[in-house]
Amino acid sequence: MPYITQEARHSVIERGAQTAGELNFALTCIISDYVAQASDRRGGLSYQILNDVIGALESAKAEFQRRIVAPYEDTKIAVNGDVYG
């Protein structure tokens, strides 16, 4: 995990991430909070909680790829030409 300044740690959630390191930090905070709360509700940390987090991350990644990255790549292909014949 990128280590960001103490000042950035306190403000990144309120103002939003400005760098990749801050984005990583914000996501890590959200995940850490979820794991702690789920562990409290379910009587401790479990494989199910960890698996739920990995599943949510993978699904978010797939949705980002589908909705943001793929259309961006299609636009760039139209502008610059396709690499594949």
Q: What is the pLDDT of residue 2?
A: 63
CA separation for the pair 29, 24 (Å, rounded): 9
pLDDT in tens, 7-24: 888 888 789 999 999 999
Instruction: Give the list of residues 6+ apart from residue 16 with CB closer than 8 angstroms, or none.
Output: 26
- The residue-averaged pLDDT of 28-52 equals 97
Q: What is the pLDDT of residue 62?
A: 98
- What is the pTM assigned to this prediction? 0.83
Which secondary structure element, helix H or strand E, spans residue 36, and what is its range? helix 20-42
CB 3 within 8 A of CB 20: no
CB 11 within 8 A of CB 25: no
- The residue-averaged pLDDT of 30-37 equals 97
CA separation for the pair 53, 42 (Å, rounded): 15
